[in-house]
Amino acid sequence: MIPLPTKPKLVEKKSENLAIFEIDGLYPGYGVTIGNSLRRVLLSSLEGAAATKVKIKGVQHEFSTIPGVMEDVIVICQNLKQLRFKLYTSEPQRAVLKVKGEKEVKGKDFQLPSQVELVNPEVHIATLTSKSASLELEIQIEKGIGYVPVEQREKEKLAIGEIQLDAIFTPIKRVAFHVENMRVGKRTDFNKLQLEIETDGTISPQEALKKAADILIQHFNLISEEFSEKETKNLAEPKEEPQKEPQKEPQKEPQKEPKEETSPTTIKIQELNISSRTLNSLLQNNIKTVGGILRKKESDLLAMKGMGEKGVKEIKKALKKLGLELK
């Protein structure tokens, strides 16, 4: 079996939003495999919140200008995309900005609903150049995954004067990984993986790494459980002999197995009421009968690949029904 690496560790925290993680003892080639998989999921699959629409008073389209405002509408829209939000509801929310007079307009000037938090309030929005200038706008904030350009949302209904924005939902700003060789035992070709993650402040690097790993695990479990269940069914099915079915004597013999009934240790593990995941773990470790289980301590079972505390509890419950228990 391929040995597992050490647990990932945080080796450097450069800021609240930037951290470097390290995983040692990866089997040769697994540094790139795991590093690239995590990087792709981090950049493309984490949920975030962003401004998706804007409505500016007195503006009909994005190629307009606003009297007394230095930036045109295109630049203002670009600035709005830089706002990073935490959204505590699944429903889209509206935020309003109303300013007058000569001043620099920033993200902190927005009036936000209670379900929305702005993590970078110092983002520049626009510059009002005269005392008579005013700027009124409303943005829609919603949740999403990755990056969704306007072209993919052309079918959405827009109110009069609304302008769609490219939605940068991903909370990840940058991900980089580096792989180098290291010694494990006598071999020098094992991998050490360093993963650098920078977020936008709506999520910590540690939380981002955990969510990316969970997404991968869910996908791999789906594949593993599908084929494990089919394999378990095939193993549990008794071997049939079609030629002997019409004969009376062979039909009676399988029903009378006093030796197996009087000796629970010979019962096959497929006959126990345990999950396919636990069953598959036992089979991979060459444990085929109840007797094989009883030769193991609880700590031995926990050390098996694919086994966990939940699996050991299943086994203990099944053994208890037979009047048996682990060492």
The predicted-structure confidence for 243-262, as pLDDT tens digits, reads as follows 555 555 555 555 544 444 45
Note the CATH number of domain 9-46+172-228.
Answer: 3.30.1360.10
Dmax (CA) of the chain: 105
Instruction: Scan for tokens 């792709």, then name that residue.
Output: 40
DSSP string, 178-217: EEEEEEETTEEEEEEEEEEEEE-SSS-HHHHHHHHHHHHH
For the chain, where do the domains classified as CATH 3.30.1360.10 start and end? 9-46+172-228
CA-CA distance, 161 to 176, in Å (whole number)?
A: 41
Q: In the chain, which segments carry CATH 2.170.120.12? A: 49-146+160-168
Which distant-in-sequence residues (6+ apart) come within 8 Å of 127 by Cβ?
69, 70, 71, 103, 104, 105
Q: Which amino acid is at 193?
A: L
Structure tokens at 38: 């995590």
Q: Which helix (H) or strand (E) holds 19?
A: strand 18-26
Q: Is 54 exposed, middle or buried (0-12, 13-18, 19+ CB in 10 A)?
A: buried
DSSP sequence for 88-123: -SSS-EEEEEEEESSEEEEGGGEE--TTEEES-TT-
Instruction: Tell me how far apart the alpha carbons of residues 148 and 142 are, in angstroms, rounded to a whole number.
Output: 12
pLDDT tens digits for 139-164?
999 999 999 998 887 677 788 889 99
Confidence (pLDDT) at 259: 44
Give the list of residues 6+ apart from residue 117 with CB closer than 8 angstroms, or none. Answer: 85, 86, 88
More confident residue, 37 or 244: 37
For residue 97, list its beta bridge partners: 110, 137
Superfamily of domain 49-146+160-168, CATH level 4: DNA-directed RNA polymerase, insert domain (2.170.120.12)
Burial class for 9, CB neighbours closer than 10 Å (0-12, 13-18, 19+): exposed
* pLDDT tens column, 91-110: 999 999 999 999 999 999 99
- 177-213 pLDDT, tens digit per residue, is 999 999 998 899 999 999 999 999 999 999 999 999 9
Can you tell me the distance from the alpha carbon of 256 to that of 97, in angstroms, rounded to the nearest whole number?
A: 83
18-26 and 9-15 beta bridge pairing: antiparallel
Closest listed residue to residue 175, CA positions, set 199, 202, 211: 199
**What is residue 2's three-state secondary structure?**
coil
Q: How confident is the model at residue 283 (pLDDT cuts 50, 70, 90)?
A: confident
